[in-house]
Structures are given as structure tokens and as C-alpha cells.
Structure 1
Amino acid sequence: MDTDAATDRMHPSAPHAGWTYLMDMDGVLVHEDQPIPGASDFLAELRRTETPFVVLTNNSIRTPRDLRARLKQSGLDVPEESIWTSALATATFLASQRPAGTAYVVGESGLTTALHDIGYVLTEKDPDYVVLGETRTYSFEAITTAIRLIEGGARFIATNPDATGPSPDGILPATGSVAALITKATGRDPYYVGKPNALMMRSALRAIGAHSEHTLMIGDRMDTDIVCGLEAGLQTILVLTGISTTASVELFPYRPTLVLESVAALVGRTSDPFDS
């Protein structure tokens, strides 16, 4: 099987005269399943002007097809091929490191599907990797198996370092929290592929044939989206519809290129977002 399958699912775009947009999903386009005001108009303008864009998410639970359906229910039209997840980035990374390898996976369909698509065999018997992703049903048995396999020599990979995730009832433990538990038990740190690792953005750029000098990143978090964009060599826009606030921006030693209230402020100016 073609080990570039995770990348090939997104077809390279023709060169574009303006900007290419990378953007986070939660906190930029939606809150849970509620669209952020102006997000639909912003996406419609990108499609109408044929501006290349990719929606990025550290969430590895769902496949791009599932995420497209979720966004569609929220009134946002994002093509499946314009969605790039930490699961896809992880699969692309593993395909480049150890083609046709084996892995024990703690995660859901978004991650297992991505690994199957690059030709990986999922097994509990002497795997090359333990791959930890996000799930709403972390199992003590699965975590114990992961610890024992890492102790036995399996390499430790995690899709992203996010310690918590949102839910209607409050925060939930996420991949980073469970990774910390496994690290405490094994003394082995995982390699995180998702944001803020700039590798995730670079893999998305390669997937659509874009270049960093003409790309900008829109995010709601200084500690993941903005630093990741900076380290990938992109222009960055922080929107104040998610985690970071005007006050919290001042706590960081780096700054975004632009701070906006929301993506609604970009409607009508996507060709040159920095033209005030």
C-alpha cells in the first residue's frame, strides 16, 4: 500500500496569487457544536474566491469525513479534503519514519483509520510503536497494555499534548494527561506530532502544495496555534473567540502578526488581511 496515502488524500492546489489559510477549528470556527458568528461567511468567501485553506485540529477522535458532517450540522461547509487532523499528521509522520510498520493504538476511529490507510498493522504483539490518541473512553486495561509494551521496547508516540478537552459539562482529560500517566509509569516521554509541533503545519502545507511564505495561521491559543505558526514560518492571526485573551497575549514572549475579535473581521479582506 502507498505509504503516502494520508498525504495524498489532499490534492495539491495550483499556485494562488494571495494567501493560503490554515486555521484551528475549535475556538476559531466553532464552540462545541455552535458556529462562531461570522465563520460561515468567512468560509464562504474563501470558497468563492478559490482561496486555498485547511482546517486543522489536534482532535484525533474523528475522521475528516466525520468532522465534515459535524461542521455541516453546525452550518459550516468545509470539504473533507480541507480538514487535517493530528491523526493524519501522525500517520504521515510514521509512514515517513517506518513504512508498513506496526502499532498498538489507544484511540478512536480517526486514528485507527489513518494508520490503516498508510498500511500499518494494529497489534498488541511486539509493535514498533505505541500510539496514543484521544478517546472519550480511556480504558485502564488499554493504558496498562501500553505501559507494558513501552517497557518492552515499543516507541512512544502521541498525537498531541493537549492536557484537557472541552465538553458541555466541563473539561475532560485528554491525550496529554494520559501521556503524562504513561510517562510517569515508564520514564519514557512521547514524541508529540500535533500542535504546537510545527511538523503538523508543515505536513498540511505539503499536502496542499502550499508554501509558508504565503500562508497564515488563524488560532485562538497563543501556546499552540500561534507558536506553532511562528515556528513553521507563517504569519499568524489570533482571534479572541477561544482560549487566549487580550490580556493573556502579554504574558508570552512572542506576538501574533495580528489580533482580531473573530474571523468575522476577515470577511471582505481575505485577499489581504493585513491591509487596515
Structure 2
Amino acid sequence: MGHVPTRLLSHPCATRSPPMKERKAIESWLTDMDGVLVHEGEPVPGAPEFVNRMKESGKPFLILTNNSIYTPRDLQARLYRMGFDVDENSIWTAALATAQFLADQRPGGTAYVIGEAGLTTAMHAAGYILTEFEPDYVVLGETRTYSFEAITKAIRLISAGSRFICTNPDATGPSNEGLLPAAGSVAAMISQATGVKPYFVGKPNPMMMRSALNAIGAHSETTAMIGDRMDTDVLCGLEAGLETILVLTGISSRLESETYPYRPSRIINSVADLIDEI
């Protein structure tokens, strides 16, 4: 390599990377629920105050969850018992995102659904007919009691040509007794039997974020996503073009965040640190 003139080495482009583009001010908020607002059935300290501040600000916001078991009204009641006063329209679930996706893809379609009220209610509201007879889709969601008979039916329908949709890819879910198999694990079983992989609508698919943004009329450039998981919340927000904020009150730690090839916009201890920003 030949001699490099000193004047080239001192040039700004030769010594440092260009500055990152500064994001616009946050005008709307998306926040995960478990691990961000609540943890093991208790409110995260400062989280009710954070939600109240969002409400008072008048800025659009949604509370997101990959759980498809409960309806927004169910979750509203659950949050209320823990000190949160939110409208059910401020809650966006993987079930709602899935129903919206299918209504856009095939309006007035038919589906065989494995799931509970959160999913079946959303599917009905989207104009879908639930049936076991040659459905357009097999839709798998979360349930407390996965039935071998229902899984067998799903396998046969998918093998016969029904398209396979799953609300979320989570392999396990929490319970008071320990981990439980979740939709992702059951989807893997069905895929192994049929050779067909599902389309996952929930996080980390950015479709979940885009549907949430559409629900509140928000824009990705001025929206922040708050989450506790690098592999779902942060990844999903990043791919949807949002500012991403990792809180340390749930799954991912600061040390773990450094092992991923992508980074959140920032890391904070909890949503309590954001109260003064809203």
C-alpha cells in the first residue's frame, strides 16, 4: 500500500462515520403489555402513572399483546384490577391483527379456528364464518386446553388445501406453575405433520405494528415501540420503522441486548423513566 497523504487521513470522512439521522418527535406510542406494564400479575412500578400520562397527553397510543386468548374487554378488566384505567379500544391483540389481516386478504372468508374468545370474537367481527367444512384457512391461536382432536382436524384440513395461519410464533407462555406450550409449539407440530409452515401475524412480524399504526392513524416516523424482548418487540418495531425502546423489567437484559445484530434506539430501566417525556 502506498503512502497516504496526511491531509486525506485528517478528512472527516476518513476518521468517523456520518451522524445518524435524528428522529422526529414522538407523537404516538405503542407498548407491549407483559413485561412492560405488568410483570407476574403485578403492575410495574410507575406503569399506571405512565399510562395515565399517555391518556392525558391526547397522543394516540395502543397497548399490544401477542396473547390471543382474551378480548380487549377482558384485558381492560384485568388491567383495571391492577390500577390501569384504559379503554378497550386502546388494546391491540394478535387476534385482532390476525382477523384484520384475513379480512383484507379474503373478505367474508371461512376459517377453522383453534383458540378462545379473543380469537373467535375477532374473527366474527371481521365478517368471517367459522366452519369445519372446507375452510379457506386454518387459524391457530392460544388456548388453555389444546385438544388432540382439534389439532388432528387442523392437520387434515391443511393437508386437504386450507391455508395455515397462526396468531403468533411464541413457543412457550408463562403460568403460575411454570412454562406452558404456546401457539408456536403447536404450529410446529402441525407443520411437521403436514409439511406446511404457517404464516405468523403477531410479533415479530411487522404486520402487527403496521396494523396497530393503522388502527390509531399513526405514522411510523413519529411512533415509538416500547418492549421487553429483543427478539419480538424490538425486532418488530425496528422492521416497521419505529423508534424502539427496550425496558429492563421483563425478558431481555442489557447484556443480552448486546448479543443481537440489531440494537434498540435506547435502553431504559422501565416505563417510569418515560413519564416526563410525554
TM-score, length basis structure 1 = 0.91
Q: Give the number of the structure whose alpha-carbon radius of gyration is greater.
A: 2
d(CA) in 2 for partners of 1:204 and 1:175? 21
5 Å matches for 1:105-124?
Answer: 105-124=113-132
Whether 1:71 aligns to 2:71 is no
Q: Which has the higher contact order (CA 8 A, sep 6+)?
A: 1
Output the aligned Cα RMSD: 0.9
Distance 1:82 1:204 in 2: 10
Matched residue, 1:178: 186
Instruction: Give the aligned partner of residue 7 of structure 1.
Output: none
Q: Name 1:245's counterpart in structure 2.
A: 253
* Structure 1 residue matching 2:97: 3-state secondary structure: helix
Counterpart Cα distance in 2 of 1:41 and 1:51 = 15
Stretches of structure 1 that go unaligned for 5 or more consecutive residues are 1-16, 271-276
Read off the aligned partner of 2:169 and give its amino acid letter. P
Q: In the alignment, is residue 189 of structure 1 matched against residue 217 of structure 2? A: no
Ranges in structure 2 where 5+ consecutive residues have no aligned partner: 1-24
Distance in 2 of aligned mates of 1:213 and 1:18:
8
1:154 aligns with 2:180: no
Find 1:30's aligned residue among 11, 32, 38. Answer: 38
Contact 1:160 / 1:175 at 8 angstroms: preserved in 2? yes
Q: Quote the Cα distance in structure 1 between the aligned partners of 2:186 and 2:248.
A: 29
Mapped to 1, the partners of 2:254 and 2:244 lie a distance apart of 15
Give the structure 2 partner of residue 56 of structure 1.
Answer: 64
Deviates more, 1:152-161 or 1:72-81: 72-81
Aligned residue identity for 2:136: D
Aligned equivalents of 1:204, 1:149: Cα separation in 2: 30
Match of 1:137 in 2: 145
Q: Which amino acid aligns with 2:31?
A: M
Cα distance per residue 1:141-176 (max 9 Å; x no partner): 000000000001000000000001111111110000
What residue is the counterpart of 2:95 in the other structure?
A: 87
Matched, 1:43 2:59: no
Encode CA deviations 1:77-113: one digit per residue, 9 max, x unaligned.
Answer: 1210110000000000000111100000000000000
Q: Does 1:165 align with 2:173?
A: yes
CA distance in 2, matches of 1:261, 1:120: 42
Cα drift, residue 32 of structure 1: 3.4
Shift of 1:47: 1.1
Runs of 4+ in 1 over 3 A off after TM superposition: none
8 Å contact 1:18–1:51 — kept in the other structure? no
* Preserved contact between residue 111 and residue 137 of structure 2 (Cα < 8 Å): yes
**d(CA) in 2 for partners of 1:161 and 1:18?**
29
**What secondary structure sits across from 2:225 in the alignment?**
strand
Alpha-carbon distance in structure 2 between the residues aligned to 1:238 and 1:19: 18
- Indicate the residue corresponding to 2:14 in structure 1: none
TM-score normalised per structure 2: 0.90
